[in-house]
Amino acid sequence: MRRWGSTRRLGTTGRTGRRLRRATAAAACAAALAALTAVPARAQGPAHQEHAPHWSLKDTGVAPDVRFRGLAAVSRDTAWVAGTLGTVLRTTDGGRTWRDVSPPGAGELQFRDVEAFDARRAVVLAIGEGEDSRVYRTADGGTTWTETFHNPDPRAFYDCVTFFDHRHGLAMSDPVDGKFRILSTRDGGRSWTVLPDTGMPPALEGEAGFAASGQCLVSSGPKDVWLATGGADRARVLHSADRGRTWTATDAPVPAGDPARGVFALAFRDRHHGLAVGGDFTPGLPSPDAAARTTDGGRGWRPAAGPPPAYRSGVAWIPHSRTAALAVGPTGTDLTTDGGRTWRTVDTGSYDTVDCTPDGGCWAAGEQGRVARLEQ
């Protein structure tokens, strides 16, 4: 997913300032990556080595029955999370404090995705059949919200939303009349239009998206977008190079053949290099071969030679690295340093979604109100 927002100045301006910011963030990411690679896997909790990179839990102050599957990391300081019981939180101080900015009257809704442009502007998606699928938008940091889409079709079930820039974005629904339905905005989420489905290939029997981490629909650059599927006899990734007007479908080599199996999350660091993770989300069942990678924009997918050991629901590239990424799920966090060829477990805490920012901030969120930031 792409994020946009103002970048804090470091005392310099213009190209020199931008180069300094990039170099500083790249150095921080490189140091954290080297340390992550060097330390053994460990359990979540106070036993972390003091200076080793680790997920540092932040006290969100919410009830333990809140689960955050929506996450929008803007920077190391600013992040938004969205989850059950209509809950939306925002921090602007690195997770030390959180503001409850939940839309009024949304307590029965399940927010599964949030896209944030900065600390003030964000769009959240509520999932569910028919009228439970809704989109809200704020331009004042969550002080006020406007409901900008209220699904009128009982056959539609919206799963994920993504933005190409601060104006253009898409949301996707499970198939209606045999095809995935795509919703489009050209004004930053103020209004939405259902796109024609003439360029969408037919869905497979039982095929759907998974609203598990807000990463079943992701974009890279001004026009490219990918859609992850499961639930059918084979998992697929659909790609559009024209902002959702036309699509092509490619099989993905991850577990399929059951409603609980498929591709749950995608991440693209550019329009060519992408990662897919998923598997079988049924608790206690093994999920071998639950990761794949592409180097040609999704035209072909190759299975990971050393995949994560279990189902994973979220994935994100580590900034300023061409080969490093994190994958998360209920049983742990895995790291790849070779572009998705092999993965190694580096933490056993439970998280559903993960997101990283250009200034080197990586955040994760999940069950029991858990939100964490990668610390060193």
pTM, entire model: 0.89
For residue 86, pLDDT over 90 is answered with: yes
* pLDDT at residue 31 in the model: 53
pLDDT tens digits along 97-152: 999 999 999 999 999 999 999 999 999 999 999 999 999 999 999 999 999 999 99
Residue 9: band (very low, low, confident or very high) from pLDDT cuts 50, 70, 90: very low
Count CB neighbours of 26 within 10 A. Answer: 15
Is 74:357 a contact under the CB 8 Å cutoff?
yes
pLDDT tens digits along 176-190: 999 999 999 999 999
Please enumerate in sequence order all residues whose Cβ is within 8 A of that of 158, keeping only pairs 6 or more positions apart, or say none: 125, 127, 133, 151, 171, 172, 173, 183
The domain over range 14-61+154-375 is classified in CATH as 2.60.40: no
Of 114, 111, 50, residue with least CA distance to 86: 111
| Structure-model confidence comparison of residues 26 and 373, the more confident one | 373
Cα-based distances in Å from 112 to 126, 131, 158, 192, 212: 6, 15, 10, 18, 7
Encoded tokens for 362: 């990586």
Q: What count of Cα atoms within 13 Å lies in the side-chain half-sphere of residue 185?
A: 23
SS3 23: helix
For residue 239, pLDDT over 50 is answered with: yes
* pLDDT at residue 13 in the model: 41
Q: What count of Cα atoms within 13 Å lies in the side-chain half-sphere of residue 38?
A: 10
Please enumerate in sequence order all residues whose Cβ is within 8 A of that of 96, keeping only pairs 6 or more positions apart, or say none: 58
* Dist CA 19 CA 136 (whole Å): 36
For residue 8, pLDDT over 80 is answered with: no
Domain definitions of the chain by residue range? 14-61+154-375
pLDDT tens digits along 64-76: 999 999 999 999 9
| Range scoring the smallest mean pLDDT among 286-290, 309-313, 360-364 | 286-290
For residue 299, pLDDT over 90 is answered with: yes
- Cα Rg of the chain, angstroms: 19
Encoded tokens for 327: 């994958």
Residue 211: band (very low, low, confident or very high) from pLDDT cuts 50, 70, 90: very high
Of 249, 193, 275, 261, residue with least CA distance to 1: 275
